[in-house]
């Protein structure tokens, strides 16, 4: 998680006023109390559901670029990575 000074530097007043911050169910009050996160005018609680139709792909090209769910390039082969969701050949893959 980023420290608060990085969050405050990255978010301008327009974002605080117009963007919606989506947080896990039951955590809205905690976010409202935090410096940085509490500046959002619109905080909505919910259950994350944006990732859909994930298929486990047994045949992964060994030379394909592998990215984690945050978009960070992984330099290790897929069989040595921890369990999780990866992007390989523009497809979501569960390991």
pLDDT, tens digit only, all 95 positions of the chain: 455 455 555 677 888 888 888 888 899 999 999 888 888 999 999 887 666 666 655 555 556 788 888 888 888 887 888 888 888 888 888 88
Span 76-93, pLDDT tens digits: 887 888 888 888 888 888
Q: Please indicate, yes or no, whether residues 33 and 56 belong to a single structural domain of this protein.
A: no
The domain of 12 spans: 4-46
Contact 65, 93 (CB under 8 A): no
36 and 61 inside one domain:
no
Give the total number of structural domains in the chain: 2
Rounded to two decimals, the pTM is: 0.43
pLDDT averaged over every residue in the chain: 78
Q: Tell me: do 34 and 55 sit in the same domain.
A: no
> Does 63 share its domain with 28?
no
């Amino acid at each position: 998680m980023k420290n608060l000074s990085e969050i405050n530097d990255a978010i301008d007043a327009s974002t605080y006023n117009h963007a919606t911050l989506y947080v896990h169910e039951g955590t809205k009050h905690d976010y409202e109390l935090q410096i940085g996160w509490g500046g959002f005018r619109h905080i909505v609680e919910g259950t994350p559901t944006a990732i859909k139709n994930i298929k486990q792909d047994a045949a992964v090209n060994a030379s394909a670029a592998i990215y984690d769910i945050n978009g960070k390039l992984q330099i290790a082969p897929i069989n040595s990575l921890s369990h999780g969701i990866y992007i390989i050949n523009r497809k979501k893959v569960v390991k």
